Amino acid sequence: MNTIIERTISFVKETLEGAEAGHDWFHIERVYKNAQHLNETEKGDELIVALAALLHDIADPKFNDGDEEIGPRIAGDFLNSLGLEPGLISHVQEIIKNLSYKASLGEINFQSRELDIVQDADRLDAIGAIGIARAFTYGGYKNRVLYDPEISPNLHMSKEEYKNSSTPTLNHFYEKLLKLKDLMKTESGRKIAIQRHDFMLLYLDHFYQEWQGKI
Ligand code: ADP
Ligand code: NI
């Protein structure tokens, strides 16, 4: 099992060389650690959790003409080259396919404890102090304003609107980040999410006060 994981780590590091900061190796490492931490309580299959966490962002559809199949395909080819059994490989592929926030806005067609664990681990990295940093990194990459008091958040975006929105970064907190706490699937994930959520509320409170020159 250790060599499988070591080889997967090397493959992911090589493949993500030069990836943008929101989905670089450090994001994968954090999700991998979060997933292992959750799995201590949640007791999913360790190898599946580890492989899915490590391979979950191997190719982002956003940067590949919206191709939703490319990540699972690359992951599948790699796991095949390690000679792993087909059942395990397709489980990891299903997790990758169903992991994205966009997928969760559509119909759910696959469920497993390991999917819940890796999805929660990925969502934890989108909230709290790190989530805030990632949101502003993304906003900077897209050249978005930090905040615009004239533009209110759109709380009920469809999949299409979400993909195409050019929202001020602060609106993204209401459009996605503050919703994640209630979407957590595991009990241990929810506990951590609540702390990170509260920190984001505190952050927003300071942000508005500073915006008005109050503190
Ligand atoms: P993930 O890889 O965690 O499933 P995404 O690919 O949707 O998430 O986004 C990567 C990071 O960029 C996340 O931290 C997310 O909050 C942030 N992000 C995505 N869309 C926006 C946006 N419109 N404004 C600000 N941040 C965003
Ligand atoms: Ni991710």
**87: helix, strand or coil:** helix
**Ligand 1 atom nearest to CA at 165:** 23
pLDDT at 1 over 80: no
pLDDT in tens, 139-177: 999 999 999 999 999 888 877 777 777 889 999 999 999
For residue 100, give the ligand nearest its CA.
1
* Separation of alpha carbons 46 and 48, rounded Å: 6
pLDDT at 124 over 80: yes
Residues 6+ apart with CB under 8 A from 149: 211
Long-range contacts from 42-46, C-beta under 8 angstroms, 24+ separation:
42/113, 42/116, 42/117, 42/186, 42/187, 42/188, 43/113, 44/112, 44/113, 44/114, 44/116, 44/117, 45/114, 46/1
CA of 27 to the centre of ligand 2 (A): 7
pLDDT band at 114 (very low <50, low <70, confident <90, very high): very high
21 vs 83 pLDDT, higher one = 83
CA of 209 to the centre of ligand 2 (A): 31
CA of 24 to the centre of ligand 1 (A): 13
Q: Find out whether 24 and 70 touch, Cβ atoms under 8 Å.
A: no
pLDDT at residue number 68:
75
pLDDT at residue number 60:
72
Q: Find out whether 174 and 187 touch, Cβ atoms under 8 Å.
A: no
pLDDT at residue number 160:
75
**Ligand 1 atom nearest to CA at 99:** 4
pLDDT in tens, 4-41: 999 999 999 999 988 777 789 999 999 999 999 999 99
Q: Find out whether 165 and 19 touch, Cβ atoms under 8 Å.
A: no
End-to-end CA distance of the chain: 53
pLDDT at 101 over 70: no
pLDDT at residue number 61:
62
58, 62, 134, 174: residue to mutate for ligand 1 pocket, most atoms within 8 A of CB: 134
CA of 150 to the centre of ligand 2 (A): 31
ipTM over 0.90: yes
**Ligand 1 atom nearest to CA at 134:** 14
Entry pTM: 0.92
CA of 65 to the centre of ligand 1 (A): 17
Q: What letter would DSSP give residue 127?
A: S
Domains and CATH numbers, the chain: 1-107 (1.10.472.50), 126-215 (1.20.58.1910)
pLDDT at residue number 102:
64
CB-based pocket (< 6 A), ligand 1: 22-23, 57, 100-101, 122, 126, 131, 134-135, 138-139, 167, 169, 172, 176-177
CA nearest to 147, candidates 176, 178, 168: 168
Amino acid type, 17: E
Q: Find out whether 175 and 157 touch, Cβ atoms under 8 Å.
A: yes
CA of 149 to the centre of ligand 2 (A): 30
**Ligand 1 atom nearest to CA at 57:** 2
Mean pLDDT score of the chain: 92
